[in-house]
Structures are given as C-alpha cells and as structure tokens.
Structure 1
C-alpha cells in the first residue's frame, strides 16, 4: 500500500464500475449506457487529474506522483472479468482511451509540458503517425498533447471530427475526459 495521505483510486472503485457495467445490458447506442461508459472513463481521468494537481501543489513529490499514476494505471488497464464479449470490448475501448491519459500524466510529472507545438499540432502529428502505422510515435504525440492539456491548454474537439476513426480518436476521447477532469475535478458519483 502507498503511504500517501489520500488514496486517489482503488481497485474496489474500478470493480464497482465494472460490476455495474456487467450487470446492465450495455448498448452503446443507448444514452444511459454511453454515459455509464463515459463516467467510468471520466472517473479515472479525475483520479489522474487529482494526482497531477497534488504533484503541482507539492503534496506529492515526483516519485510519489509517478507511483500513484502507475497504481491507477495497473488497476484500470488490467483485464476485466466480463462475460459478455461486446461489453468487454466497450470497456476495452475505455481502457484504450485512458492509455494516453496515463502516459501524458507520467510525462507531465517526469518532464513537464511539451514545448515544441500546440495541442492540435500534436494531435495532427499523432494522426499522421497512425496513418503511417507508427503507433508508438502516434501515442507519443497524443501524450505530448495531453501534457499541454494538463498544463491548461485547450483541446478543440472539432479536431476529432476530422480524424479517421482509429487509436488516435480513442486517445483524443481520453484526453477530452482529462481536459474535463482538469477543469472540474469533481468526482463522478457512482450512483448517478
């Protein structure tokens, strides 16, 4: 167990969400189902936003912040136990979206916001890299955009509409959750 003053996220919390999603008939076309999946994603992004904020406020040092991010990442990216394959794939989509959030937070804590370009430029570079099937570079650029979002820059979601659907759009979706979380780190209530 970590010795941090507050636990930012717990395996129980994640599992509660997974159980709820598992219990419901998830239909991505249905608004309440879509919201449940988004809440799952936002809830994790909020935990990450709080860790980064605690780091920025010197409540956590660099090593502690990176450990906390790693803890949340381990919980959220572990394989979920859901019988329904379609539901499992939807949760997998949320996990994919969040990968970029974790890496962005780690990079931000490790070396601060990227300074070479704007959020949109990085997203564009990520899309170009994905088109060339260089997924490591694509994720790197998307994460760089994420460090800027953590630093307070805006992600213009209209850029997402111009992207070909793929991993970069998933990651941008995660960054959108991160942006919401940075501006309003209120906990998503599990019973909403």
Structure 2
C-alpha cells in the first residue's frame, strides 16, 4: 500500500541513506590505517541497522511504496556485496567466498523474480534471515579488522564468515528446493 507520505517517507529515506553510504564505505576501505576502518565499520553498522528499521517503519506507518519494495532489497545486497568486493584486495576475505555469496544472491533474486511473475511471493525464511545477519556481522568485523580491547575482529569475522557461508548455501538450497516447481 502507498502511504500518505508518498515516496519521500522515512523508510525510503533510510534506504536511500544506505545506498549513499555504500561509496563512502568503499572509499574508506581504500584508505590505509585504523581510523578509516573504524569509520567505515561504524557507517556499515548504521546502514545494516537501517536495513531492519526501514521495512519495519514502512509496514507500521503504512508507507510501503512500490519503489521502496524494489530499492530496499537492492540496497541491502549492494551494501554487503560492495563491502565484500572491496575487502578482497585487502586480503580480508577470499574471492571464492564472495563468489559463493554473490552466486546465491543472484540465484535467489532470479527465483524471486520468476515467482513474482507467476503471482507467487517468496518471503524471507528464517534461514535467509540468519544468513543475512551473519553476513552483515562478518562483513562489519572484517571491515573493522584491527584489534580493539584484546579482541581480534579479523579472526572473529573470518569465523563468522564461514558460518555465514554455511547458512548462505543452506538457505539457497532450501529456497531452490521449496520453489523448484515454479
């Protein structure tokens, strides 16, 4: 449903903020040192939080828009994939891991498009939600990279990334299995 606020409602502004943060995070990742990584991680975290907040606000306030429905998942994927791609040349994430994540996102996005063209809506499963949370957490830790307070975010981020990869493959196969008859 289209709310009274039209396109320029708070939910869509949060989505646009998330899209705007993407090049800033990417540029900060290209800058050497702890401070740019810390700022990039903080911006990434805020953007990741808006991922949950914008959809909730849109539904609660009745300001869901067709463009918002399109931009929100696109912003989520762009934020994550851009960060991961920029982490590859820094040696913080293996190329194959990013390829697995991108392949799964492309496959499920394509599946959702086919389903929508046939009047079927594929809602996010609990596996997909866990996958998303783990991917965002891993990316944020790998962006942070440098140790703080005796915690090694790079090592922790690597562990979380492998757990995220498990859920990435599992949730992707689950969607493909459940909707293979489309």
The two structures have a TM-score, normalised by structure 2, of: 0.40
Larger helix percent: 2
**How does the TM-score come out when normalised to structure 1?**
0.38
Pair member with larger Rg: 2
